[in-house]
Each structure stands twice: as C-alpha cells, then as structure tokens.
Amino acid sequence: MRVLGVDPGLTRCGVGVVEGVAGRPLTMLGVGVVRTAADAELGQRLVTVEQGIERWLDEHRPEFVAVERVFSQHNVRTVMGTAQASAVAMLCAARRGIPVALHTPSEVKAAVTGSGRADKAQVGAMVTRLLRLDAPPKPADAADALALAICHIWRAPAVNRLQQAQAAHRQAQVSSRKVTR
C-alpha cells in the first residue's frame, strides 16, 4: 500500500509518502513541505498548495491519501487556513479518484507512539525509528505527514474489516425485511 500523508497548513503543508503493509517494515519514498508566502493573497496560497500536492501525486502515484482531520483550536484564523489546505488536498485526491482517509491528531499519535498525547518530538523520534531514517524529518510538519501515512497503513486493514462487517449487517437487514414482507 502506498500512502501520501498530508499535514495541512497554509504556510507549511507537510507531505510524505510511505509504502508497506501492516506488520512489515515500512519504506519512506519521499518527504517534504509545500510552502506558501504568508504575505501572498489567500487564493494564490491555495493554488500553490494545490500545485504542490498535484506534483506529489504525479510523482508518487499513491493508492490512498491520508489527511489530518481538522480539529477546533483557539485561533480561528489558524483553523481556517488548516481547513482550507485540508480541503485542497482532499479535492486533489478526489479529482483523481484516490480514496481519502481523515485521521485525528490523537489517532495518529496513538498509532505511531502508543500515546494519543505524545508531543511532536516523540512523534518525530518514532517516525525516524519506524522508517529507519538517520534523523527526524524537518520541519515537524514533514514528520507529521509521514506519521499520517504510517497511521493509515496500520489502521486501514481494521477499518476495512469494520466497514465490510457494517455493509454485510446492513445487507442482512435489507434481506430480512424482504423475507418478512
């Protein structure tokens, strides 16, 4: 499974590609940051994020895109920029028919470190260890993007089984309604 992780941000949008399957060693295929100028007009910043993500999609051809789910922060302006960058990433993937998964920060931290309350240094250290890197990716947005990809690779099999079970249950309910009529 090849996953593009996206840590959305308007100034720095972390991107990282990881390949592998749950229970096996994972491989980092690329990591970086799409940057925009803080003084640029909002629309141009969003176009820059889009172009950057499109380049990553073209180069790495992921099967899935994992995006950090935007959560409420105290700074509404920061949340808006994060949400806008997140929407751009989801749009780029949807345009290509690539499934998108959203993971909360605590899900990602728990998957990678074992604690949903881990700090950025702990996440970076575990990403470095899990991907057998020489040093933690910099800036932290890049490490967070890799953590998102790792989280998705590890969680996807369980999520898929759950979705299949739910679909089977719904189908069984529909079938039993037809029988009783």
The catalytic residue positions are: 7, 68, 141
Give the DSSP H or E segment for 111: helix 105-113
Dist CA 93 CA 28 (whole Å): 20
The helix/strand/coil state of 18 is strand
Is residue 65 within 8 A of residue 94, CB to CB? The reply is no
Residue 104's closest CA among 86, 88, 121?
A: 86
List CB contacts of 126: < 8 A, sequence separation 6 or more: 112, 113, 118, 147
- DSSP annotation of 114 reads S
Q: How many residues does the chain have?
A: 181
